[in-house]
Amino acid sequence: MPTTTDSVRTYYDENTKLFLKFSGHKKAQNIHRTLWMENTKSIEDALNTSNALILKEIESVASENAHIADLGCGVGASLFYIHLRLHNPAPALGLTLSPVQARLAQDSAKELGLQNQIHFAEGEFTSVPLPSESLNVVYSVEAVCHAIKPENYFKEASRLLRKGGKLILVDDYQATRSFNSNEQKWFDAFKNGWYVPGVRTVEQSKQFAQAHQLKLIKNDELTPYLRLRNLPNAIASALLFLGEKLPIEHVIVPSMLGSMALQQCLHMKVVEYRMLIFEKIT
């Protein structure tokens, strides 16, 4: 069955609390991946590595009074980390497709006393409730991959950004080479299990961006900093076969299969985890 916006919303509505429960660290509340760089010492640090990288890029654009938005913000962990470390930032927006995530993020903002500084809303990141050219930085972590038409994301990001502003993406990208049948099997299992129809190559993303005055200025591969948990192919294939036959309808099942498939894809270099940075040129 083709992935739709509604199915992505349901995926996160039904799974978010489970993701948080097993994320590895209650304090960080991130539901994206850990990155273990040279000086990373704890799971909390690893969960916040991508946030720290994004923070550095934001500061390079606006050292103070930064206007930013997190599109596909989850429960707000990235915005809480980043906004609290910026110098005198403007109120920020976090947008998520999931009403469950929006409520959790709003509750956390109130608990932290940040409800006037960080606003969370339910909505699609192809139609953001902000004026044109109002932001210094737009960023998304593991979010554009869920877009049915990722080219529309770039159009909206460009509308929101001021000249010289940055679009920062941390996400999965399809390798440019052709795949054999085994590799294609795992790539399809990843896309279906994690509801990620928007996974594209870097070159395709670059073309989408160029069509909307966004120039790729940085392309860093982060895959080497992941701690992969891939299985021997025969064992993983058997688990995938059994998992697809299980009469269990809860979306955690395809999510678990998609997670396993992603590990296989990353190990085989079918998928690459990257940080792309684009600059608004006009």
Average pLDDT over residues 109-116: 96
For position 23, what pLDDT does the model report? Answer: 60
Listed residue (166, 177, 170, 154) closest to 68, CA to CA = 166
For position 29, what pLDDT does the model report? Answer: 64
> What pLDDT digit, counting tens, does each position of 21-48 carry?
776 444 446 788 999 999 999 999 999 9
Q: What percent of the chain has pLDDT over 90?
A: 88
For position 66, what pLDDT does the model report? Answer: 98
Average pLDDT over residues 94-101: 97
For position 20, what pLDDT does the model report? Answer: 87
pLDDT of 92 above 70: yes
Average pLDDT over residues 224-246: 95
Look up the pTM and report it. 0.95
The CATH number of domain 5-174+196-227+270-280 is 3.30.70.260? no
> What pLDDT digit, counting tens, does each position of 162-215 carry?
999 999 999 999 999 999 999 999 999 999 999 999 999 999 999 999 999 999
pLDDT confidence of 231, banded at 50, 70, 90?
very high
